[in-house]
Amino acid sequence: MAIVIIGAGIGGLSAAIRLAAAGERVIVLEQNGHVGGKMSELALDGFRWDTGPSVITMRGVFEELFAAAGRKFEDYVTLLPLDPLTRYFYPDGAVLDATSDVAQMMQRIEAIAPGDAAGYRDYLAYAARIHRITGPVFIYDQPPTIRRILRTPLRDMPAVDPLRTMDDAIRSFVRSPHLRQMLGRFATYVGGNPFASPATLNVIADVELSGGVWYPRGGVYAIARAFERLARELGVDIVTDARVEGIDVEAGRVTGVRLHNGDRIPAEAIIANVDVATVYERLLPRAVVAPARLRRLVRAEPSCSGFLLLLGIEGEHPGLAHHNIFFSSDYRREFDDIFQRGIPPDEPTVYVSITSKSDPEHAPAGHENWFVMVTAPAYDDRYDWSVNAADYRERVLARLASFGLDVRGQIRVERLLTPLDLERMTGARRGALYGQSSNDRFSALRRPHNRASDVRGLYFAGGTAHPGGGVPMVTLSGKVAAGMVLEDLRP
C-alpha cells in the first residue's frame, strides 16, 4: 500500500521527496492541472509573472532537502543572490538599498538615519540570537511542546522576547521612523502585524538581512518544477486533475481517499497538504470530527491576504530594483485598517517585484513585468471586493504615481487578483496567504501539529500546520510530517 499525499503544493512535494528518498511508495493527488499550489506562474502576450511567492530566503532549507535525496539543489535550480535585497522608497524622498553586507548597510543607514547605524548592528545581533535560540524549538524540528520549551536554558528565555511586540523591540534599537518601518515590515512575511506580533518574530529580519534573498533563475516557479522533477525521479506518482473528496476512516485510522471521479485509493498513511480546517470541515467523515475542534480551526484568526496587479508595462525603469517597496506615511494606521477595520489600507505600502530585471525574457524588449502587491485583510463581509476592486486598483496606481511612477498610460497587459481570487485559485481560506495569524504570543503553540491527534495515520504538511507559512517553512513542514510518518510506520 502507498502513502497518499493530498496536494502538490511545496509542503506536499517536500514530504513526498523525503518519503520516496526513504524508500516508500508515494502517490501525490493534486486537484489542479499543475503542481506548486500557491507557487504558480502566468504567461500573457509575451509577459511572464510568478503569481505567488516572490521573495525566497533560507536557501539552506532547499539544499538540505535535495541532499537528503542524494542530489544537489544547484543541479536543479540556479539561485541568484539579489543585491539590493530590496530597494525601499519613503514618502519624503529617501531611498534605502538594503544589503546583507553589514558595513555597507551601516553606511547607507547613516545617510538617511544619522545615529542609527550602531543600533541597527545591535538589532541584527539580537535577531540572530532569537534565531539561534528559537530555531531548534519553533522552526526546524517537530512542533514545540511545553517540555521542549522548558528545556531552553533559563538564561536564554529573555532573549526570545515574547512579551514585547515586534515594534516595541525595534523602537528600543533604532530611532529613525524609516528604519522602524523597514524592520517592522518583516511581520508581513508571515502575514502579521508588527504592532501586535510578539517580538520573537524579529527572527525574520535575521533570515533576510543576514541570510540574504535569492532569485531562482527563470522565476520562483523553478522551485516547484525542481521539486516535481526530483519527486518523479525518485518514483513518486504525481497525479494531477485528481481532486480528493473524502478521507476514509475505519476504527479511528485512515484507510484511503475517495476522488472526484469515484475512484478509491487505499492508503497506509495520508499527508494532507490542504488547509487543516478544510480537512476537518470537508474531507474527514463528520463522525470522527469533534465539533469543538472544528469550531476552533474554522474560527482561528487568519493571517492577511493580498491584492495583486500583474502588469505588463511599456518602458523601462532603471531606478527600480528587482524588489521594491513604496512605504505609506502612517504604518500603524495601515495595519489598523487591515487587522482592526478589516479593509485594505487607505494609503497602502506598495510592493513591486520585477523579475525581468534578472530574467529579461520575462517581458518583451523595452517592457517590464510588474508584480504589484498590497497587504490586504483576509476577506469577510466588511469589504466587498466584487464591488470595490476597480477603485482600489486606481488607488494603488495613484499611490505609485505619488512616488513619480505614474504608469497608468503604459499598461499593455493586466491581471487583477483580489483575496477572493486567491481563495478560488489556491484553496486558502478567506485568501489568507500564510495560514493562521501570528499576531499573538501563543500563535506558535496554537498552530496545528503535523500529526493529527484524533485520527491515526493522518498528518499535515503546509502553511496552516507547524512551522507555518512561507516557502522555506512549508518545505520544513513536509520534512516534519514525513519524519512522523516514518516514525509511526517504521519505528
Ligand X SMILES: Cc1cc2nc3c(=O)[nH]c(=O)nc-3n(C[C@H](O)[C@H](O)[C@H](O)COP(=O)(O)OP(=O)(O)OC[C@H]3O[C@@H](n4cnc5c(N)ncnc54)[C@H](O)[C@@H]3O)c2cc1C
Interface stretch with ligand X, choices 91-99, 172-180, 286-294, 467-475 (CB under 6 A): 467-475
Question: From the CB of 143, what's the least distance to ligand X, in Å?
Answer: 16
| Residue in the block written with cell 497525479 | 239
Interface stretch with ligand X, choices 24-32, 141-149, 163-171, 483-491 (CB under 6 A): 24-32
Question: Is residue 470 near ligand X by the rule CB under 6 A?
Answer: yes
Question: Is residue 482 near ligand X by the rule CB under 6 A?
Answer: no
Q: Which of residues 240-259 bind ligand X (CB under 6 A)?
A: 243-244
Q: Which of residues 43-82 bind ligand X (CB under 6 A)?
A: 52-55
**Closer Cβ to ligand X, 113 or 474, answer by number:** 474
| Contact yes or no for 328/349 (Cβ under 8 A) | yes
Question: Is residue 462 near ligand X by the rule CB under 6 A?
Answer: yes
Sign of CA dihedral 18, 24, 29, 33: positive
Member of 274, 276, 378, 389 binding ligand X (CB under 6 A): 274
Member of 273, 303, 437, 443 binding ligand X (CB under 6 A): 273
**Closer Cβ to ligand X, 96 or 308, answer by number:** 308
**Closer Cβ to ligand X, 10 or 117, answer by number:** 10
**Closer Cβ to ligand X, 52 or 345, answer by number:** 52
Instruction: Write 63-68 long-range contacts (CB < 8 A, 24+).
Output: 65/14, 65/17, 65/18, 65/475, 65/478, 65/479, 66/230, 68/17, 68/18, 68/21, 68/479
Question: From the CB of 10, what's the least distance to ligand X, in Å?
Answer: 4
Member of 18, 38, 48, 466 binding ligand X (CB under 6 A): 38
On the 0-12 / 13-18 / 19+ scale of CB atoms within 10 A, 54 is: buried
Question: From the CB of 362, what's the least distance to ligand X, in Å?
Answer: 17
How many CA within 13 A on the CB side of residue 122? Answer: 13
Interface stretch with ligand X, choices 8-16, 17-25, 60-68, 103-111 (CB under 6 A): 8-16
How many other β-carbons are positioned within 10 Å of the β-carbon of residue 400? 20
Interface stretch with ligand X, choices 3-11, 61-69, 142-150, 398-406 (CB under 6 A): 3-11
Nearest C-alpha neighbor of 302 from the set 331, 342, 332, 346: 342
Question: Is residue 188 near ligand X by the rule CB under 6 A?
Answer: no
Question: From the CB of 111, what's the least distance to ligand X, in Å?
Answer: 28
> Pseudo-torsion of CA 340, 343, 347, 348, nearest 10°?
90
31 residue type, one letter = Q
Question: From the CB of 9, what's the least distance to ligand X, in Å?
Answer: 2
Interface stretch with ligand X, choices 96-104, 341-349, 355-363, 466-474 (CB under 6 A): 466-474
Question: Is residue 39 near ligand X by the rule CB under 6 A?
Answer: yes
Q: Which of residues 298-337 bind ligand X (CB under 6 A)?
A: 306, 308
Interface stretch with ligand X, choices 28-36, 97-105, 128-136, 156-164 (CB under 6 A): 28-36
**Closer Cβ to ligand X, 113 or 279, answer by number:** 279
Q: How far is CA 51 from CA 23, 95, 150, 381, 416, in A?
A: 34, 27, 41, 25, 11
Question: Is residue 434 near ligand X by the rule CB under 6 A?
Answer: yes
**Closer Cβ to ligand X, 117 or 236, answer by number:** 236
**Closer Cβ to ligand X, 55 or 196, answer by number:** 55
Interface stretch with ligand X, choices 108-116, 202-210, 354-362, 419-427 (CB under 6 A): 419-427
**Closer Cβ to ligand X, 233 or 241, answer by number:** 241
Q: Which of residues 214-243 bind ligand X (CB under 6 A)?
A: 243
Member of 463, 466, 467, 483 binding ligand X (CB under 6 A): 463
Q: Which of residues 87-146 bind ligand X (CB under 6 A)?
A: none
Residues in binding contact with ligand X, number by CB under 6 A: 35
**Closer Cβ to ligand X, 33 or 409, answer by number:** 33
Question: Is residue 41 near ligand X by the rule CB under 6 A?
Answer: no
Q: Give me the helix-helix angle, 177-184 and 117-134, nearest 10°.
A: 20
Q: Give me the helix-helix angle, 419-426 and 385-401, nearest 10°.
A: 110
Q: In the complex, which residues of this chain contact ligand X (CB under 6 A)?
A: 6-12, 29-32, 37-39, 52-55, 243-244, 273-274, 306, 308, 422, 426-427, 433-434, 462-463, 469-471, 474
